Amino acid sequence: MAFRFNFFIDENENNEPDTNDKMDLQLCSPKQKQESAEKSKQAADTVADSSLRLSTDKHQDETSKKKLCLKAAKEHNIPEDLNKVLENKVLETVSDLYYINMSAVEMTCLDGGDEEGIVSKSVSSHSDLIPGVYEGGLKIWECTFDLIEYFSEAEIEFTNKTVLDLGCGAGLLGIVALRGKAEKVHFQDYNSTVIDKITLPNVVANCLNESSRGDSGDRKTSKPPLKRPRKAECLPDVLTKCRFFSGEWSEVSQLLLSSNKPFSKYDIILTSETIYNPDYYSALHDTLAQLLDRNGHVYLASKAHYFGVGGGIYLFEKFIEERNVFRSSIVKIIDKGLQRCIMEMAFKDSS
Ligand SMILES: C[S@@+](CC[C@H](N)C(=O)[O-])C[C@H]1O[C@@H](n2cnc3c(N)ncnc32)[C@H](O)[C@@H]1O
């Protein structure tokens, strides 16, 4: 099956995406006006991930262009009553980490608990990605686990570091950094529903559990996760290190840099399965360049190639080379099935 993705950038004051047609899209930002650039990509089968499903419209018309707006950035406050965050949630564990079971969330979202409507859109279009509408954060993608494994193999040190989990979805990377005693961890996802219904509950569940483990710091001797985290009586200290953001990358970057709240650039930016769409490379690259500390590092996990969307690690590597801002190296290749990679990036002029 062949897939086409056509993106346009235009100005539109209405920030509500029209999602009826999922393949002919017009991207617009209230802050940006760029020249229209049509790109069309074709690929054979859409099997980037064992379960990756991309939205398609078989009856699309070459000339019909739907308007789609880049999502404005928003900071999500941590609710005072943490027990409410976990109410009616079913928790599972993987790699010693809590995560919210998606099926239960799906039910509440389909019942009206999802203002963005991404759950129903994803379900009705049988799609894990609807460009500019839903970017895949409701499920945990496999490269997340590659990166978690790499952290231990390479002994990546998070202690006292400022960390951003960019395109966080479930937020497991940031949660691992929190456990590694990072000084602060910020989480960003395109969709506010993902932050509210998945990321925040996951972080809360892990933080509550973490505080009930005590502070021995020894992962090997610590107890396995409880079936349910303790009831929260107050905001655990570790949660005060976290901030949560939704929105498109350049919008989030602007929000952080122009905010009244103090902001220091990140020592470490973690990002998994975020380079599938070449149309986003410029925004992603510039966001990394704007938010990473001069001597910081990016750890990026990705498939070698995303069939059906066209992106992949080698295309992004070439993009980085052309921009000439970062040096990059592929530090691990996982050759099981579809090739996956871990890339490390740092500023060219960094120490
Ligand atoms: C495929 S999901 C991966 C989620 C998670 N990192 C994982 O590995 O499970 C891609 C994520 O990238 C983010 N993303 C993709 N394109 C984006 C864009 N243009 N602006 C902001 N975020 C974007 C979304 O937040 C989305 O959750």
Distance in Å, CA 244 to ligand 1 centroid: 14
**What's the pTM?**
0.82
pLDDT in tens, 249-263: 999 999 999 999 999
Strand runs labelled E in 216-325: 242-246, 266-272, 292-303
**What is the distance between the alpha carbons of residues 264 and 258, in angstroms, rounded to a whole number?**
12
Atom of ligand 1 nearest to the CA of 173: 6
- Best probe residue, ligand 1, of 7, 274, 342 (max atoms within 8 Å of C-beta): 274
Give the residue, by CA position, lying nearest to ligand 1 atom 13.
Answer: 167
Give the residue, by CA position, lying nearest to ligand 1 atom 18.
Answer: 248
Please give the structure tokens belonging to residue 273. Answer: 């399965």
Strand partners, 303: 340
Mean pLDDT (whole number) for 114-119: 92
Please give the structure tokens belonging to residue 56. Answer: 């398609």
Strand runs labelled E in 79-209: 91-94, 97-100, 162-166, 184-189
Atom of ligand 1 nearest to the CA of 168: 6
Structural domains of the chain, ranges and CATH numbers in brackets: 71-347 (3.40.50.150)
**What is the distance between the alpha carbons of residues 286 and 251, in angstroms, rounded to a whole number?**
11
Distance in Å, CA 273 to ligand 1 centroid: 7
Ligand 1 pocket member 141 (CB < 6 A): yes
**What is the distance between the alpha carbons of residues 217 and 179, in angstroms, rounded to a whole number?**
8
Distance in Å, CA 106 to ligand 1 centroid: 19
Question: Taking a C-beta distance cutoff of 8 angstroms, is the pair 253, 188 a contact?
Answer: no
Atom of ligand 1 nearest to the CA of 301: 8
Strand runs labelled E in 101-201: 162-166, 184-189
- Best probe residue, ligand 1, of 190, 203, 286 (max atoms within 8 Å of C-beta): 190
Instruction: Give the pLDDT band (50/70/90) at residue 71.
Output: very high
List of long-range contacts for 61-67, beta carbons under 8 Å, 24+ apart? 61/24, 62/24, 64/21, 64/24, 65/6, 65/8, 65/24, 65/25, 65/26, 66/18, 66/19, 66/20, 66/21, 66/24, 66/25, 66/26, 67/10, 67/12, 67/17, 67/18, 67/25, 67/26, 67/28
pLDDT in tens, 74-104: 999 999 999 889 988 899 999 899 999 988 8
Distance in Å, CA 313 to ligand 1 centroid: 15
Residue pointed to by tokens 């769409």 = 277
How far, CA to CA in Å, does 47 sit from each of 43, 54, 132, 217, 305? 10, 9, 20, 40, 10
Percent of the chain with pLDDT over 70: 74
Nearest to 240 by CA among 73, 80, 85: 80
Nearest to 253 by CA among 193, 166, 317, 130: 166
Segment among 105-109, 262-266, 330-334 with least mean pLDDT:
105-109
Give the residue, by CA position, lying nearest to ligand 1 atom 27.
Answer: 137
**Rounded to 10 degrees, what is the CA torsion of 197, 202, 207, 208?**
70
pLDDT in tens, 293-328: 999 999 999 999 999 899 999 999 999 999 999 999
Please give the structure tokens belonging to residue 60. Answer: 């699309």
Distance in Å, CA 321 to ligand 1 centroid: 22
What is the residue type of 58?
K
